[in-house]
Amino acid sequence: MGLLSEFKAFINRGNVMDLAIGVIIGGAFATITKSLTDDLIMPVIGYLFGGADFSGYFVRLGEIPTGFKGNPESYADLKAAGVAMFGWGEFLTVLVNFLILAFVIFLLMKLVNRVMAKPEEAPEGPSDEVLLLREIRDSLKK
């Protein structure tokens, strides 16, 4: 079997295609979760704690380069200029985003496990194969 045909067989497996679909849907879902965090949750948290945007909270560690034309209070401008910073507000936003995504995936997995779980049936008695094997055993004992 040639390399190309082996690759084709590999790609056509169901689990590879399921994984590809999962990655695409996961990426779209991550975009929705990021918007939920950035546009709804973090502004409310920022409002409650007296700030408008948590992602703008940082501690500047390095010097501002000469010829800097951006806003010295802007995290994005300083980051684009390569200034070393401790961006704790951006990290907090990403952490909240992760926790929301992880919790939603947890809830989805609980739902899938509940739907996929099949009630176990109690065995009614020995199968025909077991009965046949017992007869053979008993015959050999005699």
Find, among 46, 37, 23, 45, the residue nearest to 101 by Cα. Answer: 37
d(CA 131, CA 63): 84
pLDDT of residue 116: 81
The pLDDT of 100-114, averaged and rounded, is: 83
Per residue in 43-102, pLDDT tens?
787 777 666 567 778 888 888 888 888 888 888 888 888 888 888 888 887 787 788 778
Which string of b and e fits 4-14 if b means at least 16 CB within 10 Å?
Answer: eeeeeeeeeee
> Tokens standing for 63?
């010097």
According to CATH, the topology of domain 3-141 is: 1.10.1200
